[in-house]
Structure 1
Amino acid sequence: MIKKIFTVLLLLGGSCLAASAQDVQLNKGWKFAVGDSAQWSSPTFNDQNWQNIDVAHSWEPQGHPNYDGFGWYRIHVVIPSSLKEKAYLKDSLRLNLASVDDNDEVYLNGKLIAKYGGRSGTIKDGNYGPRTYNISASDPAILWDKENVLAIRIYDTGGDGGIYGDNFSIGMADVMDHVLVNTDGDFTFGENNSLAKAVKLITTNKYQYQGTLAFKVTDPETGAVIYEKSNPANFTAGKPFTYSFVIARLAKKSYTITYTFNDQKSGKEIVRTETTPYVLTPYPSAKPKINGADVYGARPGNPFLYLIPATGKKPLTYKADGLPEGLKLDAATGIITGVVNQKGDYPVTLTVTNKLGNKTKTLTISIGDKIGLTPALGWNSWNAWGLSVNDEKVKISAKEMSDKLSAYGWNYINIDDGWEAENRAADGAIVANSKFPDMKGLTDYVHSLGLHTGIYSSPGPRTCGGFLGSWQHEDQDAKTYADWGFDYLKYDWCSYSEVTPPHPDLPALKKPYELMRSSLNKVNRDIMFSFCQYGWGDVWKWGAETGGNSWRTTGDIQDTWRSMSDIGFGQDPASPYAGPGHFNDPDMLVVGKVGWGPSLHNSRLTYDEQYTHISLWSLLSAPLLIGCDMGHLDRFTLSLLTNDEVLAIDQDALSKGARQVSKTDEQQIWVKELTKGEKAIGFFNTSDKYQTVNLDANDKLLNGFTKARDAWEQKYLIAVNHKYTFKIPPHGVKLIRVM
Structure 2
Amino acid sequence: MDRKRIRTTLVPAVTAALALASGAVALTTVSPAQALENGVARTPPMGWNSWNTFGCNINESLIRQMADAIVNSGLRDLGYQYVVVDDCWFNPNRDSSGNIQGDPSRFPSGMKALGDYLHNKGLKFGIYQVPVDKTCAQYFNSYPGATGSQGHEAQDARQFAAWGVDYLKYDWCSPNGTINDQVATFAKMRDALKATGRPIVYSINPNSIHSKTGPQRNWGDVANMWRTTEDITNKWDTGQTNGYPMGIQNIVNVTVPLASYAGPGHFNDPDMMEIGRGGMNDTEMRSHFALWAMMASPLIAGNDIRSMDSATQTILKNKNLIAINQDSLGLQATQVSNDGTRRVLAKKLANGDVAVALFNQGGSTTTVSTTTSAIGKSGGTVTLTDAWTNATSTTSGTISASVPAHGTVVYRVSSPGSSPSASPSASPSASPSASPSASPSASPSASPSASPSTSPVPGGCSATIKTINSWGGGFQSEVTVQAGSSAVNGWTVKWTWPGGQTISSLWNGRQSSSGSSVTVTNESYNGSIAAGASTTFGFTANGSAATPTATCTSP
Please state which band the TM-score falls in when normalised by the shorter chain.
0.5 to 0.7
- Judge conservation of contact 2:85–2:127 (CA < 8 Å) in 1: yes
Aligned to 1:439: 111
The secondary structure found in structure 1 opposite 2:284 is helix
- Judge conservation of contact 2:336–2:346 (CA < 8 Å) in 1: yes
Runs of 4+ in 1 over 3 A off after TM superposition: 3-10, 535-542, 693-702, 721-725
1:628-667 superposed matches below 5 A: 628-667=303-342
Aligned to 2:284: 609
- Judge conservation of contact 2:170–2:205 (CA < 8 Å) in 1: yes
Does residue 1:708 correspond to 2:364, yes or no? no
1:212-361 superposed matches below 5 A: none
Does residue 1:728 correspond to 2:403, yes or no? yes
The secondary structure found in structure 2 opposite 1:588 is coil
Aligned to 2:127: 455
Does residue 1:590 correspond to 2:274, yes or no? yes
Distance 1:664 1:5 in 2: 33
TM-superposition CA deviations, 1:619-672 (whole Å, max 9, x none): 110101101111111111111111111101110111111111211232111111
TM-superposition CA deviations, 1:174-218 (whole Å, max 9, x none): xxxxxxxxxxxxxxxxxxxxxxxxxxxxxxxxxxxxxxxxxxxxx
TM-superposition CA deviations, 1:52-99 (whole Å, max 9, x none): xxxxxx4222899xxxxxxxxxxxxxxxxxxxxxxxxxxxxxxxxxxx
Does the C-alpha gap of structure 1 residues 508 and 616 become closer, same or farther in structure 2, counting only changes over 3 Å?
A: same
Which AA in structure 1 matches 2:64? K
Count residues in correspondence.
374
Distance 1:696 1:564 in 2: 26
Does the C-alpha gap of structure 1 residues 470 and 681 become closer, same or farther in structure 2, counting only changes over 3 Å?
A: same
Aligned to 1:485: 164
Distance 2:160 2:8 in 1: 36
Superposed displacement of residue 476, structure 1? 1.2
Distance 2:372 2:38 in 1: 43
- Judge conservation of contact 1:540–1:577 (CA < 8 Å) in 2: no
Aligned partner (choices 10, 15, 18) of residue 60 of structure 1: 15
TM-superposition CA deviations, 1:127-184 (whole Å, max 9, x none): xxxxxxxxxxxxxxxxxxxxxxxxxxxxxxxxxxxxxxxxxxxxxxxxxxxxxxxxxx
Aligned to 2:490: none
Superposed displacement of residue 697, structure 1? 6.4
Does residue 1:427 correspond to 2:106, yes or no? no
Superposed displacement of residue 441, structure 1? 1.3
- Judge conservation of contact 2:360–2:403 (CA < 8 Å) in 1: yes
Aligned to 1:473: 152
Aligned to 2:72: 403
RMSD after superposition: 2.8
Distance 1:584 1:540 in 2: 12
Distance 1:651 1:587 in 2: 17
Superposed displacement of residue 503, structure 1? 5.2
Superposed displacement of residue 519, structure 1? 1.0
Superposed displacement of residue 9, structure 1? 11
For CA contacts below 8 A with separation 6 or more, give which structure has more relative contact order.
Answer: 2
More strand by share: 1
Which AA in structure 1 matches 2:198? R
Gaps of 5+ in 2: 20-35, 139-144, 238-246, 415-555
Aligned to 1:544: 220
Does the C-alpha gap of structure 1 residues 7 and 521 become closer, same or farther in structure 2, counting only changes over 3 Å?
A: closer
1:73-152 superposed matches below 5 A: none
Aligned to 2:413: 738
- Judge conservation of contact 2:38–2:194 (CA < 8 Å) in 1: no
Does the C-alpha gap of structure 1 residues 540 and 631 become closer, same or farther in structure 2, counting only changes over 3 Å?
A: farther
Aligned to 1:379: 48
Distance 2:373 2:186 in 1: 48
Does the C-alpha gap of structure 1 residues 666 and 444 become closer, same or farther in structure 2, counting only changes over 3 Å?
A: same
The secondary structure found in structure 1 opposite 2:16 is helix
Structure showing greater radius of gyration is 1
The secondary structure found in structure 1 opposite 2:54 is helix
Distance 2:272 2:18 in 1: 27
Does residue 1:691 correspond to 2:376, yes or no? no
Does the C-alpha gap of structure 1 residues 697 and 474 become closer, same or farther in structure 2, counting only changes over 3 Å?
A: closer
- Judge conservation of contact 2:348–2:354 (CA < 8 Å) in 1: yes
Superposed displacement of residue 538, structure 1? 5.0
Does residue 1:508 correspond to 2:181, yes or no? yes
The secondary structure found in structure 1 opposite 2:220 is coil
Aligned to 1:37: none
Superposed displacement of residue 726, structure 1? 2.7
Distance 2:288 2:41 in 1: 22
Identity of aligned residues (%): 33
Does the C-alpha gap of structure 1 residues 676 and 513 become closer, same or farther in structure 2, counting only changes over 3 Å?
A: same
1:488-567 superposed matches below 5 A: 488-495=167-174, 497=175, 502=176, 504=178, 506-534=179-207, 536-538=212-214, 541-546=217-222, 548-562=223-237, 563-567=247-251
Distance 1:723 1:63 in 2: 34
- Judge conservation of contact 1:667–1:683 (CA < 8 Å) in 2: yes
- Judge conservation of contact 2:214–2:227 (CA < 8 Å) in 1: no
Gaps of 5+ in 1: 11-32, 35-57, 65-298, 300-367, 594-602
Aligned to 1:569: 253
Distance 1:544 1:672 in 2: 20
Which AA in structure 1 matches 2:391? K
Aligned to 1:162: none
TM-superposition CA deviations, 1:21-46 (whole Å, max 9, x none): xxxxxxxxxxxx98xxxxxxxxxxxx
The secondary structure found in structure 2 opposite 1:555 is coil
TM-superposition CA deviations, 1:381-437 (whole Å, max 9, x none): 000100101111111111111122012111110000010111111111001112111
TM-score, normalising length from structure 2? 0.63
The secondary structure found in structure 2 opposite 1:5 is helix
Superposed displacement of residue 710, structure 1? 0.6
Aligned to 1:50: none
Distance 1:702 1:469 in 2: 50
TM-superposition CA deviations, 1:347-381 (whole Å, max 9, x none): xxxxxxxxxxxxxxxxxxxxx84211000000000
The secondary structure found in structure 1 opposite 2:187 is helix
Superposed displacement of residue 680, structure 1? 0.7
Does the C-alpha gap of structure 1 residues 465 and 538 become closer, same or farther in structure 2, counting only changes over 3 Å?
A: closer
- Judge conservation of contact 2:91–2:101 (CA < 8 Å) in 1: yes
Which AA in structure 1 matches 2:4? I
More helix by share: 2
Does the C-alpha gap of structure 1 residues 528 and 700 become closer, same or farther in structure 2, counting only changes over 3 Å?
A: closer
